[in-house]
A and B are shown apart, each in its own frame.
Chain A
Amino acid sequence: MYQAFIDAFSLLAQLDATIIRIVITSIQVSLSALILGTLIGLPLGAWLATEEFAGKKVAIVILNSLMGVPTVIVGVLVYLILSRSGPFGEWGWLFTVKGMIVAQFFITTPLIAALSRQILEDSWRVHREPFMTLRLPPLARLKWLIWDCRFSLTIAILAGFARAISEVGAVMIVGGNIDRVTRTMTTAIALETSKGDLALALSLGIVLLGIVLLANIFIFVVRQIAERRYG
C-alpha cells in the first residue's frame, strides 16, 4: 500500500503525460457542463423562486428529486438519446466528449437550479416589495436578485462542479472510457483499480481531491472578500 502511494506521487512529480491528458479531459467535460448548467439552471431557479403559477410546488418537488437521481440513470437515458437508434443518434455524439458534456449537463442543471431556487427565494421574500414598488420588469427583477445573491450562488455552482467532476456513472456509459479520447479521472480510477494499477488510480485520486479542494478554497476566499466588502 505504501509503495502504491510512493509510485502515485512519483507519477505526479514526473507530470506523467497520461495523467495530464486525463485531467484535461475531465476538466474540459465538467467545466463545459458546469457553464451550460449554470446558464440554464440559474435562471430556471430564479424563475421558480419569483414566479407564482399553478403546479409550482410540484415543479419544485420534481426539481429537488432530480438532484438526487443516480448518475448511471442519467447516463443510460443520455445513451439512449444519443445512440444510433435514438432521436439524436445522427449527431454521432455517443462516445465523444460532447456526449459526456450533455450527460453532465443533465446532472449539474437540476442541482444548480434547485439550490439557486432556495437561495433566491429567501432573498426574493426580502426584496419583492421594493422591486415591485420600483416597478422593475420581471427580467430586471431576476437580474438584480441574482446579482444580490451572487456570492451565495457560488455555493450552488461549486456543488454543481463537485458533482460533475466526481461522478463516474454517466461519463462511463456515454463516454465509453476510451483511452486518449473520453477517459476522465473517475473512469480511469475505476478502470486502473480493477486492473490493479493502484499507483495511477491513486495519483488521479490525489489530483481529483486537489481540484475539488482548490475550487473550495477559491469560493471561500471570494466569499470572504465579498463579505468584508458588502457586509
Chain B
Amino acid sequence: MDKLLTLDQIKVFSDRRTIFRADHIEIPMNGMIALVGSNGAGKTTLLRLIHGLIKPASGSCLSPFEKHESALVLHYTPMLKASVREHLTLLRDTNLTVSDSAVDQALASVGLGHLANNPAQKLSAGERQKLCFARARLQNPKLVMLDEPTANLDPNASDDVEGMMMQLVKESKVVIFASHNMAQVQRLADIVLFMHDGQIFEMGSPEQFFKNPQTKEGSQFLTREFIAQ
C-alpha cells in the first residue's frame, strides 16, 4: 500500500515546548484516516504539519502530495463580511482557473446554492461547515484534512457532513479527520491513529483499536471517552 506520510525523527516546538514528536512512522494511504486523542494530544498540530502550515524543528515529514494537492478545513473558520459566493471566489487568488460554474457546482454539491448571495456571517454552524467543504472541494485536492468537522453541529448537520466526507472518499480522495466522536470514528474510519502527549501511540484498524488497544494510554483514553459519551 502507498504511504500517505512518512515521519522520521521529527520534532515540532511551540514556545520552547515539544508539541509533536515521532521517531519513525509510516502512515498508509487508505480511505479515511481518523486522528483521536485528548485535547492537546497533537492532532491539529499533525494536520497543520501535513498541510505545511508549520515546519518541524528537526526531522522530515514526507508525503507524495504536492503542497497545492491538500486542503485543510479548520475546526472553526471565521467568516468574512462577504457573501457565500465570495468565500469561494477568493480562491481565484490562488488558482485563476476557478470558474463561476465551478463555484456554482461546489455550492450546489453541499446544498448551499440557494444561499450563494447571502452574507456568510449569517450562516448557521452547519452551513458554515458545508461552505468550508465546498471551498475545499473547489481546491480540487487529493488529500482533504478536517479538524473536528462535526464539533458543535446538531445530528442532522453532522449526518450531512459525514455524507460529504464519504463522498470525498468515493471520489478517490484521501481524507484525514480529527474527532472526539468515537461513534463517528467507528462508522467512518479505515485507519485510526491514537495520539497522546504529542506522539502517535497507536495505528490500526478501528476494530483493533476499539476492541483491543495496544497501549495503556489508549485504553485509558477509550475508557474516559466512552464514560463521557
In the complex, what distance in Å separates the CA atom of A135 from the CA atom of B139? Answer: 11
The stretch among A37-45, A99-107, A125-133 that forms the contact with chain B is A125-133
Check A221 for interface membership: any CB of B closer than 8 A: no
Contacts of B53 in A (CB 8 A): 129, 132-133
Contacts of A213 in B (CB 8 A): none
Chain A, interface size: which category?
20 to 34
Segment 42-79 of B: residues with Cβ below 8 Å from A: 51, 53, 67-68, 72, 74, 77-78
Q: Which of A126, A135, A231 contacts B67 (CB 8 A)?
A: A135
The stretch among B12-20, B87-95, B106-114, B181-189 that forms the contact with chain A is B87-95
Contact B78 A127, beta carbon cutoff 8 Å: yes
In the complex, what distance in Å separates the CA atom of A137 from the CA atom of B67? Answer: 14
Check A148 for interface membership: any CB of B closer than 8 A: yes
Contact B80 A148, beta carbon cutoff 8 Å: yes
Q: Which of B51, B68, B72, B80 contacts A144 (CB 8 A)?
A: B80
CB distance from A20 to the nearest CB of B (A): 39
Check B25 for interface membership: any CB of A closer than 8 A: no
Contact B90 A230, beta carbon cutoff 8 Å: no
Contact B90 A140, beta carbon cutoff 8 Å: yes
Check A180 for interface membership: any CB of B closer than 8 A: no
Contacts of B72 in A (CB 8 A): 133
Contacts of A139 in B (CB 8 A): 93
Interface of A, secondary structure class, is helix
Q: Which of B67, B77, B91 contacts A130 (CB 8 A)?
A: B77
Contact A130 B74, beta carbon cutoff 8 Å: yes
B80: nearest residue on chain A (CB-CB)?
A: A148
Contact A133 B81, beta carbon cutoff 8 Å: no
Contacts of A5 in B (CB 8 A): none
Contacts of A6 in B (CB 8 A): none
Contacts of B67 in A (CB 8 A): 135
Check B121 for interface membership: any CB of A closer than 8 A: yes
Contacts of B90 in A (CB 8 A): 134, 136, 140, 144
Check B102 for interface membership: any CB of A closer than 8 A: no
List residues of chain A with CB under 8 Å of any chain B CB. Answer: 126-127, 129-130, 132-137, 139-140, 143-144, 147-151, 226, 229-231
List residues of chain B with CB under 8 Å of any chain A CB. Answer: 51, 53, 67-68, 72, 74, 77-78, 80-82, 90-91, 93-94, 119, 121-122, 135, 139
